[in-house]
Amino acid sequence: MAFLHIVVAGNIGAGKTTLTRLLAGRFGWRPYFERVDSNPFLEDFYSDMARWAFALQVFFLSHRVEDHRLIAERGESAVQDRSLSEDALIFARNLAEMGQMSPREWDSYRRLFEQARALLRPPDLVLYLRRSVKGLRENIHQRGRDYEAEIPEDYLARLNGFYEEWIASEEAPLLVVDADRTDFLENGEDVACLMRQLECAFDQCELFGDPIKPPRDDRFVLRRSESPVASLKLLGEARSIG
């Protein structure tokens, strides 16, 4: 039986968890949430990034690999809060370039990621929530996690820059959402617009019913992948760090 693997991607505070819950409830997809609160290294990381960066990223990577494997094994449609590629191509890469992860740690992490990625089924769609640093800061403040309160704006800006590089070369089909101009928590019309965009993103009509052509809306940009570009080239650009 056909199934879909949807990834909700975005920076810290982009609104991924909210949207993951919404999609899981609307379509009956199994949700896979990022293990943030259960990560034993997170608070230590924000107090001493260089000391805990490698352990933090390996924890996230190992659990992301587990989720990817379970999605493939269970064979049921699923929506995942953040992707395997984001861990490596954005967060770990950023830490390496900032000098918070040593060259040896980065090389070990990168090799582990490359091997895992080669063995796993890629997602059918990446839904990227593009949000400004101002919007990220507002969401971070609203959810009130103490260890996130002091995240510098330039750190979030660097991550946003890496996200733009990543989505430009990501080989999976991609739906980019202007998260600053949408509210999926309070605005039902925004939710309806997103649902119509998703219905048109797939050829597997049996999963949704007859496809509906959505109205033009510059808050949503759908890009189908015609000639895949290996996003691992972003790793290659960072191989010489240190």
Q: List the domains of the chain with CATH numbers.
A: 5-237 (3.40.50.300)
Mean pLDDT in runs of 10 for the chain (242 residues)? 87 94 92 85 88 94 93 94 94 95 96 94 94 94 77 93 94 92 91 85 54 72 57 40 44
Burial class (CB in 10 A: 0-12, 13-18, 19+), 9: buried
- Note the pLDDT of residue 202: 67
Helix axes 153-169, 133-143, angle to 10 degrees: 120
- Note the pLDDT of residue 205: 44
Per-residue tokens: 119 = 């063995």
- Note the pLDDT of residue 134: 95
Q: How far apart are CA 166 and CA 92, in angstroms?
A: 13
- Note the pLDDT of residue 159: 96
Quickly tell me which residue has 């309806």 as its tokens: 192
Q: How far apart are CA 22 and CA 19, in angstroms?
A: 5
**The amino acid at 18:** T
- Note the pLDDT of residue 229: 35
Tell me which long-range contacts 114-120 makes (C-beta under 8 A, separation of at least 24).
114/232, 114/235, 116/61, 116/65, 116/68, 116/84, 117/84, 117/85, 117/88, 117/232, 120/65, 120/68, 120/69, 120/72, 120/84
Antiparallel, parallel or unpaired: β 78-81 and 125-130 = unpaired
- Note the pLDDT of residue 162: 96
- Note the pLDDT of residue 172: 87
Active site positions, annotated: 81
